[in-house]
Amino acid sequence: MKKIIKNIILILLLTIILPVFIYARGADENSPRNLTIYGLKGPSGVGIIRLFENPPQIAGFKIKVEALAQSALMAASFISGEAKVGILPPDSAAKIASSGKDIRVAAIIGGGMLNLLTSDPAVGNINDLRGKTVEVAGQGVTPDFVFRRILRHNGLAPDTDVKFGYSLAYPEIAQSLIAGRVSNALLPEPFATMARLGKPDLRSVADVQAEWAKAIGFQTAGSGTAGSGNFPMTTLVVDGVFATENPEAVNAILAAVKNSIEWVKGNPAEAGVLVEKHELGLRAPVVTAAIPRSNYMFVPAAEGRPSLEALFKVFLENAPASIGGALPGDRFYLR
């Protein structure tokens, strides 16, 4: 009798608990997965600013967009596996890939935005920089190596004919130009625009992007195109495993990023407001003025590979370890 009662109780418990368990399991499997698209504070995040306001809607995912303060934090997030989609300088992405981490460049989303500015009346072209000092923010990074290649192409020896100043960050260089403490500087947008707004008599010494194209032997084909020789400064990167398992989601994100970049280029005033609203560290008027002078673009990885490899070769000439000692292989470029 006791055995019969135990069996009845067991059946009743299974009748009550099992459906609840099955429902909970099904709800968990069908619930959307959290996915963060990581941007960067500063100019690198401007192109995707519309995603902060309107994250892409993708079936099976709950998406948010977040800006990290530094590319080093972004790199660490990819290495740890936390980040699946984010923005990185090309050299950082190559360095991570060289360590064995499966990450892929999905697209170039920012091209060369460098300005070589002067207030020195004796400087009218690159050759006039002989014997001068040029402030460059960031030693051993893209602007540094790009400028070194340009100087060599023009017959000037970096560190000998032209001295490099590395002690100031971009905002400080802009303020120093305005105050007259610095006469020559290599600045990306929007900091070049910031300097020009504060000191309208600043002059451009040369078109840095065109000089780069000549220095590496590329034929210029217009700003913003992958074949122009316009060096890449910002890439959209995805975790390789995530991309393989979720191709439709990745394609939807790429489409959203492309649409955001096109919107930013067509609506600089509105974009500037959003950049300040979402606290990317830039004021709306400066962003608005800088966007037409900037080089936000969307170039799929396969199409942009020649531009990326041209840049990587300059890194190999100057600091091979900074990209892992060799050019990234085919797997690095998302197909």
Q: Where are the domains of the chain?
A: 33-112+232-332, 114-216
Residue 85: name the closest of 65, 60, 59 by CA. Answer: 65
Cα separation, 335 vs 333, whole angstroms: 6
User: Which homologous superfamily does the CATH classification assign to the domain defined by 114-216?
Assistant: Periplasmic binding protein-like II (3.40.190.10)
> Along the 335 residues of the chain, how does pLDDT read in single tens digits?
444 444 444 444 444 444 444 334 444 556 789 999 999 999 999 999 999 999 999 999 999 999 999 999 999 999 999 999 999 999 999 999 999 999 999 999 999 999 999 999 999 999 999 999 999 988 889 999 999 999 999 999 999 999 999 999 999 999 999 999 999 999 999 999 999 999 999 999 999 999 999 998 865 434 344 444 578 999 999 999 999 999 999 999 999 999 999 999 999 999 999 999 999 999 999 999 999 999 999 999 999 999 999 999 999 999 999 999 999 999 999 98
Same fold yes or no, 33-112+232-332 and 114-216 = yes
CB burial readout 222-252, b (16+ within 10 A) else e: eebbbbbbbbbbbbbbbbbebbeebeebbeb
> Which pLDDT does position 15 carry in this prediction?
44
| β strands within the chain, DSSP E | 33-40, 61-68, 85-88, 103-111, 114-118, 133-136, 163-165, 184-188, 203-206, 232-239, 296-300
* Residue linked to tokens 């941007």: 39
Cα separation, 155 vs 36, whole angstroms: 47
Which burial class, exposed, middle or buried, applies to 311 when counting CB atoms under 10 A from its CB (0-12, 13-18, 19+)? buried
Cα separation, 65 vs 76, whole angstroms: 17
> Which pLDDT does position 225 carry in this prediction?
42
Cα separation, 39 vs 235, whole angstroms: 11
Residue 199: name the closest of 136, 101, 120, 278 by CA. Answer: 120
The reported pTM is 0.84
> Which pLDDT does position 307 carry in this prediction?
93
Give the model confidence (pLDDT) of 7-59 as tens digits.
444 444 444 444 444 334 444 556 789 999 999 999 999 999 999 999 999 99
> Which pLDDT does position 306 carry in this prediction?
94
> Which pLDDT does position 32 carry in this prediction?
86
> Which pLDDT does position 12 carry in this prediction?
41
How far the first Cα of the chain sits from its last, in Å, is 69
Alpha helical stretches, state H, 154-283: 170-179, 191-198, 208-216, 240-245, 247-266, 268-277
> Which pLDDT does position 17 carry in this prediction?
44
**For domain 33-112+232-332, is the CATH number 3.40.190.10?**
yes
Which burial class, exposed, middle or buried, applies to 77 when counting CB atoms under 10 A from its CB (0-12, 13-18, 19+)? middle
